[in-house]
Amino acid sequence: MERSKALQVAMKPINRTSNKGNAWKVGAWGFQGLQKIDWIRNSSDKSFKEKYVRVALENAYASEFEEKEEDSTKSQNFLWKKLKAFYAFTRPYAVVVNVILATTISLLPVQTIKELSPALFAEIFKVVVATTSMFVYIAGVNQLNDVEIDKINKPYLPLASGDFSIEAGVAITFAALSTSLVMGIMSSPALFSAILICVLTATMHAIDLPLLRWKKRPYVAIISNVIMIMGHVLALFTHIQKYVLGKPMMITRSLVFAMATSGIFFTIITMFKDIPDEEGDKEHGIQSLSLKLGKKNVFWLCINMLLMSCGAAVVVGATSSSLLSRLITIIGHFLLASLVLLRAQSIDLNNKASTTSFYLFIWQLFCVGCFLPLFVR
């Protein structure tokens, strides 16, 4: 029907003054000008006219298809760009660590196979979603308050690069905060506390208000981060132990080990993250530990802390009553210490890419370290 209508339109005489727009459109289909259109329509060869119009229409449909395909490609590229920007906005390495940490801490209260029920895994899934939303909020509130610093230190982040507007950043951050708090309130006082501890601490670190913006005070930042993560671990454990499994609250060997290792890792992460960020911190008046003590001193302090924590973990593992626990804990932390020493030898402290790579390596170590408390019994 569309081809028939188009043919009828093409066969009608054209008014050169009132139908210039239509004449241009027909010419774009392949008639190449108003004179050629008139000549074809005045021709006595009907089959020739129909054939020429048919070719023109086919060109029109092909052109229209190409335009739609181009529009579709642009839309796909735009969507893909925004998805990549959202991925970067969430700080995926922290999200991965949270998923592993939330899962392993939730499994610490489990003492028997019978306790591994579908209901338990459903609750663990809720914990993972709630705490992941919380980490997205933490990433968002930091980026919203560090746009100018990130233009120097991390220009690839979506707010600093302009891939996301500030309004988009605020919307994502608020949605993540609302999701985590609502899920916490609907679950238990313990899970809500686990989320609230991290939200308040991250907000106080980031927001530039009197007595806040704790990232400007390195020792305050370190202490508050350690308290935050240890309280977070304790609250998650309590949520599963008391409110999901219905068992009386008790402090276990594995819980203490998890709190200690998480606290050490967050201390190291808080100190080390400022090494690759010296340039932006210095320009914006943030006196990080790296600027106060020097990159080399902070670097080796972090390395020594990692090695000492691995050594302490080996001692804890050696005192376990389970042979499997002893083997996994000792061998696992020995391998971690070996990796730390191996990587430390290849770091160029004057190369930002090198120090950033080692910073991400610490997060990877944290991922592995999250599993080890499961074997401390």
Question: So what's the pLDDT on residue 41?
Answer: 53
Residues 133-189 pLDDT 10s: 999 999 999 999 988 888 888 888 899 888 889 999 999 999 999 999 999 999 999
Report d(CA 90, CA 86) in Å as an integer.
6
Strand, coil or helix: 62:
helix
- pLDDT of residue 15 exceeding 50: no
Report d(CA 222, CA 268) in Å as an integer.
9
Average pLDDT rounded to a whole number, residues 89-102 = 91
Assign 219 a pLDDT band (cuts: 50, 70, 90). confident
Question: So what's the pLDDT on residue 24?
Answer: 39
Assign 25 a pLDDT band (cuts: 50, 70, 90). very low
Q: Which long-range contacts (CB under 8 A, 24 or more apart) does 349-352 make?
A: 349/275, 349/295, 349/296, 349/299, 352/276
- pLDDT of residue 39 exceeding 80: no
- pLDDT of residue 100 exceeding 60: yes
- Residue positions counted in the chain: 377
Average pLDDT rounded to a whole number, residues 3-26 = 44
Left (φ > 0), alpha (ψ -120 to 50) or beta: where does 248 sit? beta
Mean pLDDT of the chain: 81
What b/e string do you get for 170-209 counting C-beta neighbours within 10 Å, with b at 16 or more? eebbeebbebbbebbeebbebbbbbbbbbbebbbbbbeee
- The more confident residue out of 255 and 282 is 255
Report d(CA 105, CA 195) in Å as an integer.
14
Q: What share of the chain is helix, strand, coil (3-state, %, to 5)?
A: 80, 0, 20
Average pLDDT rounded to a whole number, residues 359-365 = 90
Residues 200-216 pLDDT 10s: 999 998 888 887 888 78
Q: Report the range of poorest mean pLDDT among 102-106, 191-195, 281-285.
A: 281-285
Cα atoms in the 13 Å half-sphere on the side-chain side of 312? 12
Token readout for 259 is 């709190």
Report d(CA 82, CA 99) in Å as an integer.
23
Strand, coil or helix: 98:
helix
Q: Report the range of poorest mean pLDDT among 9-23, 110-124, 177-191, 198-212.
A: 9-23
